[in-house]
Structure 1
Amino acid sequence: MPIDDLPDWLSAWCLDHLGDQPADVLFRQQSMSMVFGLRLSCGTDVVVKARGDDGRAGSCVKAQARLAENGFPCARPLTPVVSVGLLAVHAEEYRHGGEPLRGDTPDVAVRYAEVFARLMTALSDLAITPPLPNPRWVRWDHTDPGLWPSIEALDEKDQSLVPTYVMDTADRARRRMLAAGLPSVLGHADFEAHNLRWHDQYVRTVHDWDSLAWQPEAALVGAASAVFPKMGPAVLPPIESTEAFLAAYQDARARSFTAEEQQIAWAASLWPAAHDIRWEALHGYAAVSGKGLWAQAAERLRRANA
């Protein structure tokens, strides 16, 4: 990307908050947020993130900063969150190196679960204002009317495109989670393969701290157990891989889930896939996870007592 194509505000923002201007663009990504990898004139590489200011970013960046200070493998924030018009913006260090760990087998699930347990342990010691509302792909706890959280860009589309089994699965899983009444904790709600980088056998960097959520631990673990293989379109791993993830997480945390927590974890494993299939259906994309959810929903709902 040519440097002249950067947003008008970005160079001045870097000068004001980082003390230097960008000289080169290393990468640019855009999804829920805009992410710019920049090389400053002094030669330092940084990442600048900008997202719609919904009030969540400050808590997320504070948690990320505390984890980095305590030695957790994540990028260290270089600035607090700064408002730029309707955007919330911050900068963080650029951590080079590492590759995604691909696969959805039980042995891969165990490796991800061990990192997630380490992450949740690190977050448990932080006193952070809950980053609400929760990210929409795990916002089963919303108070909006209807099954899904209200998102105008999705709600205005033809809902008949969403398969009936997806609606039924999401409804039953959500009702089970809402009935539990478990306490909420801080956790990572986008624990997907593309958000982690590994070197040899060790995780080097966990990304996407914008996606922290405030939900029951079992729900956060259940969601992670279903999305850990995701590199692009929606996926759902084999049931035995979710089993391995849940068992390894509990072993690493040295505590066993109660029977109800086990059920909530299984219910939560269904919501991200249902959300993703709905999104794909409403946008006319082929749902990669559709067959997985179709094949596994009944068993996952049985284990959830839903």
Structure 2
Amino acid sequence: MGRPRIESLIDAVLGARPGTELFRYEHLSLALGLLLDDGRAIVVKVRPYERRHAACSDVQRVLYAAGFPCPELLAGPIESDDSAVLPPETPEAYSSAPCVARSSSAASWSVSMERYVEPPAGDARGFAPKARLSGEALCRLMSLASHANASAMPSLAPPPAWLAWNHPEPGFWPAPDDGDEDLNAIDAPDWLNEAAHHVREVLQSASARPVIGHGDWESQNVFWGEGRLAVVHDWDSIVALPEPAIVGAAAGVFAVKGSEPSWPTLKDSQDFLAGYLASRGCDRVGSGSAMNAEWAKEYDRIFWAAGLWVHCFNAQKALARGASAADLERTRLLIRERLALTGSQDAMRAQF
């Protein structure tokens, strides 16, 4: 691709040039809000290239076409092996300097452009709705996603690290999603090791076939307005996993607001599942679909294990980054409360 400035890429794809920078957000990817000179407001996403991004984008297009509240994907993902697709440090640099990578060593990049969706008035990212509403919203997403032609799409594998209990890497833990620590070199308390190994065994025993769903159903990825779902973001986190695992992971984190201590209570997670199942019972998606099968008894164990895996993985990352005793204690209490629901033995729970 040579060394195009980011504005040249936008101009070539959308036929307009960026003017005002509205915002930028950097975590696992860089999201750049821009007002174009033709009046359109867009978000440009730049992240290290993964093959799965193409399939994630296909699902986003299917959901948008079906009327689900998600941003309209205008272009991408466009693969580039050139760090020049990264934006400059300051908005003023758009017209005068190429975009040079600042800190990443990625070999290539994925660039996507989508229409900016204004947050609902009087509401903000991070609002946690009632648990049942959130479960119903996830069911709607998964019902519509089941219409995606998965056989014609690129693979959605591998899932993000926090859902990668089947990862092929050496060691028990996968590589973290947001750092370069070796989680397998970190000493963890026995209760965390035992719980993580147990829930991984439960998840690896799941016989339910994969369905498509959202793998990062945290409240900072979801906007609500007046008690209704307004828009869902983070479509790079679309996954193909057993249904109860997707729902359980979401029920374990749906109230999380970034790094704030805002985990759902046990009742919250139970209510989330109740909302999901109530919606699932009246929103069938076609004969033969995995979503049409009854919620099997084994699904409950997988549901609770998936939520616990996410918390165990996050606790292991926190240990690598100097977690406080108070944070670990909160995790221990959460695991102790839910472990029996995964079918763990009394001897294991006794150490909690």
Q: Name the SS for the 1:180 alignment partner.
A: coil
Deviations 1:25-71 (A, max 9, x none): 11111111111001111221000111111211111111101111110
- For 2:231, the equivalent position in structure 1 comes to 205
- For 1:84, the equivalent position in structure 2 comes to 80
- For 1:281, the equivalent position in structure 2 comes to 319
| Percent identity of paired positions between Structure 1 and Structure 2 | 30
Task: Measure, in 1, the Cα distance between the counterparts of 2:184 and 2:202.
Answer: 27
TM-score, normalised relative to structure 2: 0.79
Q: Name the SS for the 1:240 alignment partner.
A: helix
Task: Measure, in 2, the Cα distance between the counterparts of 1:21 and 1:97.
Answer: 24
- For 1:3, the equivalent position in structure 2 comes to none
**Is the contact between residue 131 and residue 212 of structure 1 (CA under 8 Å) also seen in structure 2?**
yes
Give the counterpart of 1:301 among 339, 342, 350: 339
Name the amino acid aligned to 1:282. A
CA RMSD of superposed structures (Å): 2.1
Q: Which moved more, 1:171-180 or 1:282-291?
A: 282-291
Measured after TM superposition, the shift of residue 253 of structure 1 is 0.1
Q: Count the aligned residue pairs.
A: 296
Measured after TM superposition, the shift of residue 293 of structure 1 is 2.6
Task: Measure, in 1, the Cα distance between the counterparts of 2:323 and 2:250.
Answer: 23
**Is the contact between residue 177 and residue 268 of structure 1 (CA under 8 Å) also seen in structure 2?**
yes
Task: Measure, in 2, the Cα distance between the counterparts of 1:74 and 1:289.
Answer: 34
Q: Name the SS for the 1:171 alignment partner.
A: helix
Measured after TM superposition, the shift of residue 216 of structure 1 is 0.2
Deviations 1:250-296 (A, max 9, x none): 11100752110111001111011111122222122448753333113
Deviations 1:169-198 (A, max 9, x none): 211111111012221111100000001111
Task: Measure, in 2, the Cα distance between the counterparts of 1:48 and 1:288.
Answer: 38
**Is the contact between residue 175 and residue 183 of structure 2 (CA under 8 Å) also seen in structure 1?**
no
Unaligned residue ranges in structure 2 (runs of 5+): 82-107, 282-291, 345-352
- For 1:135, the equivalent position in structure 2 comes to 160
- For 1:144, the equivalent position in structure 2 comes to 169
**Is the contact between residue 235 and residue 273 of structure 1 (CA under 8 Å) also seen in structure 2?**
no
Task: Measure, in 2, the Cα distance between the counterparts of 1:262 and 1:157.
Answer: 29
Q: Name the SS for the 1:277 alignment partner.
A: helix
Measured after TM superposition, the shift of residue 301 of structure 1 is 2.1
Matching of residue 63 in structure 1 with residue 59 in structure 2:
yes
Task: Measure, in 2, the Cα distance between the counterparts of 1:288 and 1:282.
Answer: 15
Name the amino acid aligned to 1:273. H
Change (3 A) 1:23 1:287: farther
Change (3 A) 1:167 1:157: closer
Which one has the largest radius of gyration? 2
Measured after TM superposition, the shift of residue 22 of structure 1 is 0.8
Measured after TM superposition, the shift of residue 165 of structure 1 is 2.4
Task: Measure, in 1, the Cα distance between the counterparts of 2:138 and 2:4.
Answer: 38
Task: Measure, in 2, the Cα distance between the counterparts of 1:61 and 1:192.
Answer: 19
Task: Measure, in 1, the Cα distance between the counterparts of 2:127 and 2:37.
Answer: 36
Q: Name the SS for the 2:180 alignment partner.
A: helix
Change (3 A) 1:70 1:139: same
Q: Which moved more, 1:258-267 or 1:231-240?
A: 231-240
Change (3 A) 1:42 1:285: farther
1:256-271 alignment, distance < 5 Å: 256-271=294-309
- For 1:154, the equivalent position in structure 2 comes to 181
Q: Name the SS for the 1:78 alignment partner.
A: strand
Task: Measure, in 2, the Cα distance between the counterparts of 1:232 and 1:101.
Answer: 8
1:243-258 alignment, distance < 5 Å: 243-254=270-281, 256-258=294-296
Q: Which moved more, 1:35-44 or 1:126-135?
A: 126-135
TM-score, normalised relative to structure 1: 0.90
Task: Measure, in 2, the Cα distance between the counterparts of 1:243 and 1:134.
Answer: 25
- For 2:116, the equivalent position in structure 1 comes to 94
Task: Measure, in 2, the Cα distance between the counterparts of 1:303 and 1:157.
Answer: 27
